[in-house]
Amino acid sequence: MTDTVARAHEAGKTFANPGVSGAGQAARPAPLLAVHNVEVIYDKVFLAIKGVSLEVPEGAIVALLGSNGAGKSTTLKAISGLLGPERGQVTKGTVRWRGQDITRLSPPARVRLGIAQVLEGRRVFEHLTPEENLIAASTPIGNARRVRELVQMVYDYFPRLYERRNAKAGYLSGGEQQMLAIGRALMAEPRLLLLDEPSLGLAPVLVEEIFRIVQRINQEQGVSVLLVEQNARAALDVASYGYLMEDGRVRMDGPAEVLKANPDIQEFYLGGGAGRTSYRDVKHYRRRKRWLA
């Protein structure tokens, strides 16, 4: 471990849980989400994450960074309960929601508690219209009037979805589909939004627009966000705290400012090095050399 990494780690410990101020260790209330030492095995043989721990405090935006195959999506699925349909299993550790152990809860039960995941690759219901996508996702809401209010709220955040509300969702643009996927997750009135690579394949302007809206949702609705990204710069701009995963483990964590200032992170994830400006170069470089390997 390099010095800088160790420093960032220390800093992380000091500044961890930015939502809680002043309270002593004993009086600290349980965070909204606490993942403790979770291990996930796919198909009974493949060890995908190896003891991941992280926290999301109430009201925070937390970034989860890392390159391809680091285990980011797996971590999110362990939180939302979607490992079952993927033949994966949490074999160790716990996922706690406001202190309550939810490691074995069914996905719909977790959504009712307030956890909604936006899957990698958007995964809108292609043959349904955007409006039907939203209504389909309102299953946990009992009251029909509330459903209409929520649909309206989503349209307010994403006016473009309103314009295209009667088209087939499969024919929306990538950006519109991402908006729909986020809007759809809002239909369950979540307290925590798990976003898996919302910037994937989108033009930078669009990424900026979507991240701004996510920030507004966080501030106006008080929804906490766990944001998985390979686009570390965009993620650390909106997040207050970040975790960096590598090879199934959390390698580093700390306040966003500290991570952004970390030279290793700059080199690997912010494309900072001199003369390296094209994204393609960064990607190539990232593939060749592995973090702390």
Cβ closer to Mg ion: 67 or 138? 67
Determine if 223 is a binding residue for ligand ATP (CB under 6 A). Answer: no
Q: Give the span between the Cα atoms of 138 and 32, in whole angstroms.
A: 23
Instruction: Tell me the backbone φ, ψ of residue 243, rounded to 5 degrees.
Output: -120, 145
Say how many C-beta atoms besides its own lie within 10 A of residue 143's C-beta. Answer: 10
Cβ closer to other proteins: 8 or 32? 32
Token pair, residue 106, equals 């069914």
Cβ closer to other proteins: 29 or 170? 170
Determine if 81 is a binding residue for ligand ATP (CB under 6 A). Answer: no
Among 120, 209, 247, 257, which residue sits at the site for Mg ion (rule: CB under 5 A)? 120
Distances from the Cα of 281 to the Cαs of 111, 206, 247, in angstroms?
Answer: 40, 22, 22
Determine if 70 is a binding residue for ligand ATP (CB under 6 A). Answer: yes
Determine if 73 is a binding residue for Mg ion (CB under 5 A). Answer: yes
Burial class (CB in 10 A: 0-12, 13-18, 19+), 191: buried
254: left (phi over 0), alpha (psi -120 to 50) or beta: left
Binding segment (CB under 6 A) for ligand ATP, from list 55-63, 66-74, 258-266, 277-285:
66-74
Residue carrying structure tokens 């970034």: 63
Pick from ligand ATP, Mg ion, other proteins, none: which does 99 bind, CB < 5 to 8 A by kind? none
Name the residues that contact Mg ion, by CB under 5 A: 73, 120
Name the residues that contact other proteins, by CB under 8 A: 80-82, 85-87, 106-108, 111-112, 116-119, 123-128, 132-133, 135-140, 144, 147, 168, 170-171, 174, 184-185, 187-188
